[in-house]
Amino acid sequence: MVVSRGKAPSAQETFMQMAQAAGLRGRIFITIGLLILVRLGIRLPVPGINRAAFTSTFAGNPVFGFLDFFSGGGFSALGIFALGIIPFINASIILQLLTAALPSLERLQKDEGEAGRRKISQITRYVALGWAIIQSTGFAILVNGAVDPQTNIPVVPNPGPIFIVQMVVALTAGSMFVMWVGELITERGVGNGASLLIFLSIVSGLPSTLGNALQIAEQGEVSKVIILISVFILMIVGIVFVQEGTRRIPIVYARRQVGRRTYQEQKSYLPLRLNSGGVMPIIFASAMLILPGTLAGLTNNSTLIEFAGYLSPNSSLPWVYVIFYLSMIVFFSYFYASLVVNPIDMSQNLKKMGASIPGIRPGRATTEYVERVLNRLTLLGAFFLGAVVLVPVAAERVVGGGIFSGFGATSLLILVGVAIDTAKQIQTYVISQRYEGMVKQ
């Protein structure tokens, strides 16, 4: 097969390499096998719990629904992998925040290279272990004293300290095993392990979504299904364009002399992503959206109960839901963008490399220019995230039907983002195989 050295690999070349190259084929098999193992572990039940009573008691709890989404049904199934990758994701977010706040961690990440990153990874594992113990302990204590309000049957037939210890050990061990599987996929498989585990959790909900669509179609409302699926496809196309969208700021490297040779100035660009926060602003905003309802359920405060009722797309005042959700998305978009991109470090790095932005003085002027561009991009990205969240909800409210129930903006962004990153990694491996073949020839 003849390939071009300068072109990206075609779909035909990629699939041929996946089938023929032993290295890539082995990585794909390892990834698929480990993902299947995690899905089987979700169905291994935690002993000592009445599942019918548990389902009846916590079916409408928004916090359990939120956690169940990221565990791929692990909470509703009460499997030993119920916590899934959630503690590791929480630990990673905490370390990101601490790295921006603590100079010691920032120096560890920036100045010590690969050794520093390994130390931060080890700290992240310890934080994930502590977070898993905290989450499993709270979950065990909550379940230990719960009673089904309809039948007055206890969720735990034999409650007590022994049950709490057993459940904490089982859930924590399951979470650590899932974290290890994610790192194993990253090291020996294809793609980012943690992202693929979340991807798998979301994909596991697709059959129920398709089942809802078929039920609506069988009722004679085919036009509703066509409209909603069209909106779904358009949102995927929009997400692909915006996730890949970047603002390329031109930069120029100064002329330099090495020995007797003079190198002419070179032109390049500084890429700034339109949506630098990815899916994190939506996750944080969704958590803030369910927080009033959780506090209202714990405190039985009438004001909180009334406010929580307004934070629903089906409330009598949907504009309250829209304004609150958009405000949270914009706030967390700016907050997360400030953690991901540091204009001061960017301008200092450009100065060290002898590069500058045409028409902009190095130093403070470059920092202010990058901040202005970043603020505009973040605002556009935040409005895009708001559109991704609200367009499917508005379509369902206008047309009717529940196809998107439990499968909204967060799901779409994660699915598309992980699929793009995994496809790019496979293409990178195919390109490396292409050049290895050229060297052998």
Q: Most confidently modeled of 179-188, 243-252, 301-310? A: 179-188
Max mean pLDDT among 17-21, 209-213, 432-436 falls in 209-213
**Distance, CA of 240 to CA of 421 (rounded, Å):** 11
What is the assigned CATH class of domain 10-204?
mainly alpha
Show the 3-state SS of 365-425: HHHHHHHHHHHHHHHHHHHHHHHHHHHHHHHHHHHCCCCCCCCCHHHHHHHHHHHHHHHHH
Q: What band does 286 get if pLDDT is binned at 50, 70 and 90? A: confident
Q: Tell me the torsion sign for CA atoms 299, 304, 309, 311.
A: negative
pLDDT of residue 7: 59
Please answer whether residues 333 and 382 qualify as being in contact, where contact means their C-beta atoms are separated by less than 8 angstroms: yes
Distance CA 351, CA 431 (A): 33
Per DSSP, the residues of 246-271 read EEEEEEEEPPEEETTEEEPPEEEEEE
Mean local confidence (pLDDT), 170-176: 90
pLDDT confidence of residue 4: 45
Q: How many residues comprise the chain?
A: 441
Name which CATH class applies to 206-406. Answer: mainly alpha
Angle at 160 between CA 154 and CA 165, to 5 degrees: 120
What is the rounded distance in angstroms from the CA atom of residue 404 to the CA atom of residue 210?
9
**pLDDT value of residue 133:** 92
The pLDDT > 70 percentage for the chain reads 78
Which of 63, 55, 42 is CA-nearest to residue 201? Answer: 42
Where do the structural domains in the chain lie, given as residue ranges?
10-204, 206-406
The C-alpha atoms of residue 92 and residue 94 are separated, in whole angstroms, by: 5
For 405, the token pair is 């129930």
Residue 27's φ and ψ, nearest 5 degrees, are -65, -40
Asked if domains 10-204 and 206-406 share a fold, the reply is yes
Q: Which of 199-208, 226-235, 394-403 bottoms out in mean pLDDT, i.e. has the lowest?
A: 394-403
Specify the range with the lowest mean pLDDT, choosing from 20-29, 34-43, 356-365.
20-29
pLDDT for position 2 = 39
Torsion angle of alpha carbons 367, 373, 379, 380, nearest 10°? -160
Sign of the torsion angle spanned by Cα atoms 288, 180, 107, 367: negative
In the predicted structure, residue 326 carries a pLDDT above the cut 70: yes
Per-residue pLDDT, 176: 92
Cα–Cα separations (whole angstroms), residue 397 to 198, 318, 391: 28, 10, 10
For residue range 126-161, what is the model confidence (pLDDT) as tens digits? Answer: 999 998 998 888 888 888 877 877 778 888 888 888
Q: Span 164-187, mean pLDDT? A: 90
User: What is the mean pLDDT of the segment spanning 311-317?
Assistant: 69
Instruction: Please say if the pLDDT value at position 79 is more than 50.
Output: yes
> Taking residues 170-183, what's their average pLDDT?
90
pLDDT surpassing 50 at residue 1: no
Q: Please tell me the distance from the alpha carbon of residue 209 to that of residue 232, in angstroms, as a whole number.
A: 12
Bridge partners of 247?
272
Q: Helix or strand or coil: residue 355?
A: strand
